[in-house]
Amino acid sequence: MNFELSETQLLIRDTARKFAREVVAPKARQTDREEIFPAEAYRQMGELGLLGVNVPAEYGGAEAGVVSYALAVIELAAACASTSVGMCVTNMCAELICQFGSEAQKKRFVPKLCSGEAIAGSFALSEAHAGSDPGAGSTNAVKKGDRWVINGSKQWITSGAYAGVMVVWARTSNAGNKGLSCFLVEQGTPGLTIGKAEDKMGLRGSNTVPLVFENMEVGEDRLLGREGDGFKLAMVALDGGRVGIASQACGVGRAAIEASVRYAKDRHAFGQPIGDFQALRFMLADMTTQQQTAELLTFRAASMKEKKQPFTREASMAKLYASEMSNRVCDHAVQIHGGYGYIDEFPVERYLRDARVQTIYEGTSEIQRIVIAREVIKAAG
């Protein structure tokens, strides 16, 4: 077991940290308050290799591995969770196309995602009535000659109004989970309409929209993977995606702890810094221990993915623990700040709002528990 970071991992972490602190963090409050989609940040992140951290260099990625990816997401999320979620989904789409795409698909779409030319990638799986159970989705794709005609709608699509490349799931037969297939769709395709952006509690700089497909046609060369394999592609992508969301939760949790320590040292009550009270010290001790535990779980899952070992259970454990940790830690951070934690003069109210969705998207905590329990029972034979 080696806890030291490699040179590559340090380089990616430090690149992400510098960019996050100097460029992203100063705008984070405005990004949230004014719901500014961070398109320019994504272009710059493309130049820095942060949109394809675990993508082979021949397709425009940094080829730096999954642990590097987790380190980079933590840095971005500590600065601005809104910016980090689009980064996560773009990396996830680029990796999925690399894993299952034809050579032509990889050459056409992956460099656009990694460079920032596409601004972002979207992962269009969920529907209004099919979130935890994506196999119940009803968007359908019908083959007409050498074209697929797609009809239906998607919900909660991150970066949907801006993403140049979208991965879209649609039903190609009625065979339940085995009837789903996966398609590559470009922004501006006739028949694709972007719905009204959601007015969210947190991650307000991230764009979340419904997509509507009305006789949207794509060529047969846009089928990603084999017909009927869409559900498995989604599960494989989400295993990796959950490492990303776990990293995001670690980053937000870390930022909340740092803000709390600063405040606890500055703020005085009863003639002493409030950080001298044992009640706060115990809170800070628990927050830090839980945040570090989440990082260890996250790096373990990332490292297993990097070594191409099965990591479904570990990714779900990291995502479950880290997302619940960030909610607890951010809640404590608000408590430590007292009244100041409840207004936007300090960043902790934003952290708490941003953390809230982490136990919901890319699989709720309840779904993670289902996945973990199934894997535990399966392993027992």
Strand partners, 212: 153, 193
Site residues (vs ligand CAA, CB under 6 A): 89, 123, 125-126, 132-135, 158, 177, 231-232, 235-236, 238-239, 312, 361-363, 367, 370-371
Three-class secondary structure of residue 26 per DSSP: helix
State which residue, 82 or 291, has the beta carbon closest to ligand CAA: 82
* Minimum CB distance to ligand CAA, residue 156 (Å): 6
Q: How far apart are CA 249 and CA 78, in angstroms?
A: 9
State which residue, 169 or 351, has the beta carbon closest to ligand CAA: 169
State which residue, 101 or 225, has the beta carbon closest to ligand CAA: 225
Q: Is 22 a catalytic residue?
A: no
Question: What ranges make up the beta strands (E) of 256-302?
Answer: 268-269, 272-273
State which residue, 73 or 283, has the beta carbon closest to ligand CAA: 73
Query: Using an 8 Å Cβ cutoff, are 313 and 376 in contact?
Result: yes
* Minimum CB distance to ligand CAA, residue 364 (Å): 7
Q: How far apart are CA 232 and CA 238, in angstroms?
A: 10
Task: Tell which residue, 235, 237, 259, has the closest CA to residue 355.
Answer: 259
Q: Which residue has the tokens 């570090």?
A: 292
* Minimum CB distance to ligand CAA, residue 287 (Å): 25
Query: Using an 8 Å Cβ cutoff, are 121 and 73 in contact?
Result: no
Query: Using an 8 Å Cβ cutoff, are 76 and 87 in contact?
Result: yes
* Minimum CB distance to ligand CAA, residue 276 (Å): 41
State which residue, 64 or 88, has the beta carbon closest to ligand CAA: 88
Question: Which of the following is catalytic: 127, 324, 349, 362?
Answer: 362
State which residue, 51 or 89, has the beta carbon closest to ligand CAA: 89
State which residue, 17 or 353, has the beta carbon closest to ligand CAA: 353
* Minimum CB distance to ligand CAA, residue 64 (Å): 22
Q: How far apart are CA 156 and CA 198, in angstroms?
A: 8
In Å, what is the CA distance from 230 to each residue of 14, 182, 225, 239?
36, 5, 7, 14
Q: Name the DSSP class of 49.
A: T
* Minimum CB distance to ligand CAA, residue 7 (Å): 31
Q: How far apart are CA 224 and CA 245, in angstroms?
A: 24
* Minimum CB distance to ligand CAA, residue 297 (Å): 17
71-74 long-range contacts (CB < 8 A, ≥24 apart) are: 71/5, 71/9, 71/12, 71/13, 71/16, 71/247, 72/12, 72/13, 72/15, 72/16, 73/16, 73/244, 73/247, 73/248, 73/251, 74/247, 74/248, 74/250, 74/251, 74/254, 74/295
Q: Which residues are catalytic?
A: 362
